[in-house]
Amino acid sequence: MSWLDKILPPKIKRDGAESASSTVPEGLWHKCPSCSATIYSSELKQNDMVCTKCNYHNPLSARERLNLLLDENGREEIGAHVKPTDALKFKDSKNTLTA
């Protein structure tokens, strides 16, 4: 045990050690932002991302929304090969990524 381990409070010492609560896989549960209920992610997906407790509509990605609206058969995606282009060749005067 190093001198640093001796002076750190117990909460900080736990960092890196596996506890029983941290063994739950990430993404298994979803906490509703409206009613704070904890729901299984699989249950939420089966209910089309609508909270089973309070009917809160969670945000959907564009793909998820299209999958809900369109039938599996008979749909054809157009423009999948189209990529965005930078026609203006805009260069920012400030580096916003590191700010």
Where do contacts with Zn ion occur on this chain (CB under 5 A)? 32, 34-35, 37, 51, 53-54, 56
Q: Which of 36, 40, 44 is nearest to 64 (CA)?
A: 44
Nearest C-alpha neighbor of 64 from the set 52, 51, 50 = 50
- Of 13 and 55, which has the nearer Cβ to Zn ion? 55
Question: To the nearest whole angstrom, how small is the minimum distance from the Cβ of residue 84 to Zn ion?
Answer: 36
| Closer residue to Zn ion in complex, CB, 58/67 | 58
Q: Measured from the CB atom, is 49 or 51 closer to Zn ion?
A: 51
First to last CA, the chain: 38
